[in-house]
Amino acid sequence: MLTEDFTAAFYSGDISAHPDLRFVAEARQAAYSIGIADALADRGIRPDIIGGSSLGFMIGATIAGAIDRREFFEYLRHSTSSPLHPEGEPPQGIAVCVVPHTEGVEGFLGDRTDVHLACEIGQFIDGKNGMYMFSGYVDALRELAAEKPAGLVNVVTVLGGGHSPLQQFRYDWIAPHVETMTFSDPKVPLVSGLSDRKLTTAEEVRTDLLRNSVTTTQMAYVIRGLDREGTQLALVLGVSSAAGMFVFPFQVFPVAAPSDFEAVGSAIYEAGIPLSAG
């Protein structure tokens, strides 16, 4: 599951190409990131605060001990088994967009009622553009893509929508399952992309897990939360473009391959961060 190549299915636009695509896509990211966190912990490298947006928030909550690992993967199986859209309604999708600062998100959304801002992913280091994800009806997303210069808007249909009021049906799908889950207070402070606050209680984590399906998520909240807590070095777990593409007010170091583990120690030392025993 962790190594099979689903590239062809992902870009085919046909969800029937692989029925488990949504579950595998999320579960493999989670397993990868949690495994890296465990490997770091075995080397005495543990976080003082954890932050994440969207799926990253849920993974972070699990690493922080707020969600039991087995229950988390059971939740992923349940949530990704929901329909892609309500019966009788148009199909939904997402669009990953490069938005010039001169135009802004409103220049893309305009008066469209069938397209919503789903995620603020990050601000590019070039200072000229940001990356965002929109969610809405597929036809409306394709109209948006056709109106913008080629390459700025990339529509993905196989995963359905996300982080949008149009996803209320999915909220209703997952809510009963979430009620069966056990949540704990995070062992370390946790910040999510859903609000500019620090999560310290089990109920706050439960609330954000539910809100995640219908609420815009913003990396800016995560970055501000980490910065507010005095973060000097953030380790990005798993495959990510964040470390090299986006603006952060602190050092960001990617940990994705075995060769990165030795370099992490050097990065921590160079940042002047002491490692506590145990």
- Residue-wise pLDDT for 232-252, tens only, equals 999 999 877 677 789 999 999
Q: How far is CA 241 from the centre of its chain?
A: 13
Confidence at 216, pLDDT banded by 50, 70, 90:
very high
Angstrom distance (rounded) from CA 94 to CA 270: 40
Beta bridge partners of 124: 246
List pLDDT tens digits, range 13-52.
665 555 578 888 899 999 999 999 999 999 889 999 999 9
Range of weakest confidence among 159-173, 175-189, 194-208, 254-268: 254-268
Domains of the chain: 29-84+167-270 (3.40.366.10), 92-165 (3.30.70)
Instruction: Tokens for 175, please give them.
Output: 């809510």
Q: Is the pTM of this model over 0.85?
A: yes
Q: Which residue has the tokens 């579950």?
A: 23
Let me know: does 135 contact 118? Beta carbons within 8 Å: yes
> Counting Cβ atoms within 10 Å, is residue 208 exposed (0-12), middle (13-18) or buried (19+)?
buried
Q: Which residue has the tokens 């990339």?
A: 154
**CB-CB neighbours of 254 under 10 Å:** 19
Let me know: does 141 contact 93? Beta carbons within 8 Å: yes
**CB-CB neighbours of 94 under 10 Å:** 24
